[in-house]
Structure 1
Amino acid sequence: MTTFRQHMAEMSARTLAEFPEEVTADIYAVTFRIDSVDQDPRFPYLAIGYTTETEVARQLAETNGSEPWETRWNYAYFPPSGLEGVRVIGHDPAHDPFGADLHRKEAVAEDLWYEEEGGLAEEEQDERGEVLAEQFHELCVGVARRLHEDGHIVSVLGRPLPVILYDMFDPDEMFTLTRAANPPELVTDFLSEDPQGQPQA
């Protein structure tokens, strides 16, 4: 039986193959936007996309070259291909009903699922929600690492490229998640603004 983790890994590889062939040479990073339906931790999803050198050049021209790191790496500057992405996978019934069903079944089996009117105290709901969110972050890191290890990024894009992971509602996690998901040499520039410092060689 397919697990939620396997489903996420398979769908992420399939999504890379859906990137438009005409822009693959222009892509400098794969983007993972970690989010949830209605900001509910029971329904986490991943929007997979990309950013391009052309978009960075356009942004820098419009801002007279200011804040080059922000323009290149901050999701606030990402184009729709890096925000909305190419495909949404995870517990989003509208975009990935199979993934949503798998995730719910596994959360129930792990005694992490809850209903808002199910009798659990709000504190217990919050605790379960935190665990579900942490698990999904860890899963997304693992999915990104597998894209590297299985050669999908090189196969589709022709060269190793970083995967930038970000949660729009927890921006401080961006550096931690991205560091964990990539070979160090691919994220040196990205991590140059990490307040915790760059990884040790």
Structure 2
Amino acid sequence: MTFRQHMREATARALAEFPEELTSEIYAVTFRIDSVDQDPRFPYLAIGYNTDSEVARLLAEPGPPEPWEARWNYAYFPPSGLEGVRIAGHDREHDVAGAELHRREAMAHGLWYEDEDGLPEEAQDERGERLDEQFHELCVDLARQLHADGRIAAALGRPLPVVLYDMFQPDEMFTLTRAANPAELVAEFLTEDPDAA
């Protein structure tokens, strides 16, 4: 099995773990892209969701956020949207198989290094950037595949957007989410894109 296949299966399993009683409430699937200790050698994906009732709760509070912020900004996501229901990737605590597959493939592509290898910092940074880019591209592809396979519609009763975000690269949120979804599903989300024409 490849790392990509493993991640595809993990995202499908995560959808199956969303609570059935919340199916009508869920309006977005969330992909939080992160890495263990902010080390690009150990990327992982936290797969989750957000609900209309959570947005309503936020908007009913004193001094509520703006409606778009409450609905789409990960800073307001509850644990189901931020931490997700499943973590997949190079995280030895939550995904042993994914960690080994990712490490093996990174080694095969000449991108892996150990701290004690004595690799110059510049070379470490270059490899880290490539690993980071590859993982972001994979996450976009995973979301596209969920749409193409009809898995989101099958699990949640209708097509829903997948919101991708990396808290350490917040400006990429719009680019990643736009690339991962059919345009009609992210029209509302993209209304706040600062780069929109």
Query: What band does the TM-score fall into relative to the shorter chain?
Result: over 0.9
Could you say which residue in structure 2 is the equivalent of 1:93?
92
Gaps of 5+ in 2: none
Q: Deviations over 1:113-138 (max 9, x none)?
A: 01122021000001100000000000
Equivalent residue, structure 1, for 2:19: 20
Separation in structure 2 between the aligned mates of residue 185 and residue 67 of structure 1, nearest angstrom: 22
Provide closer, same or farther for how the CA distance between residues 63 and 166 of structure 1 changes in structure 2, counting only shifts above 3 A: farther
Q: TM-score, normalised by structure 2?
A: 0.98
- Aligned-partner Cα distance in 2 for 1:94–1:65: 36
User: In the alignment, which residue of structure 1 is the partner of 2:110?
Assistant: 111
Letter matched to residue 24 of structure 2: A
3-state SS in 2 of match to 1:31: strand
Structure 1 pair 159/122, CA: closer, same or farther in 2 (3 Å)? same
User: Which segments of structure 1 move beyond 6 Å, counting only runs of 4 or more?
Assistant: none
- C-alpha separation in 2, matches of 1:66 and 1:115: 44
Q: How does 1:43-192 map to 2 (within 5 A)?
A: 43-64=42-63, 66-192=65-191
Partner SS state of residue 30, structure 2:
strand
The amino acid across from 2:28 in the alignment is A
Task: Give the Å deviation of 1:163.
Answer: 0.1
Listed one character per residue, the Cα deviations across residues 153-196 of structure 1 (whole Å, up to 9, x for unaligned) are 00000000000000011000100000000000000000000011
Match of 1:8 in 2: 7
Q: What SS is found at the alignment partner of 1:34?
A: strand
Other structure's SS at 2:115 match = coil
Unaligned 5+ runs, structure 1: none
Contact 2:47-2:87 within 8 A present in 1 as well? yes
Percentage of matched positions with identical amino acids: 74
TM-superposed CA distance for 1:66, in Å, is 4.3
Change (3 A) 1:8 1:26: same
C-alpha distance in 1 between matches for 2:142 and 2:55: 26
> Structure 1-normalised TM-score?
0.96
Would you say how many aligned residue pairs link Structure 1 and Structure 2? 197
Give the whole-Å Cα distance in 1 for the aligned partners of 2:103 and 2:65. 45
Over aligned residue pairs, what C-alpha RMSD do you find? 0.9
Amino acid at match of 2:71: R
Query: Deviation per CA, 1:81-107, whole angstroms, max 9, x where unpaired?
Result: 001100000000110000000000000
Deviations 1:25-54 (A, max 9, x none): 100000000000011000000000000000
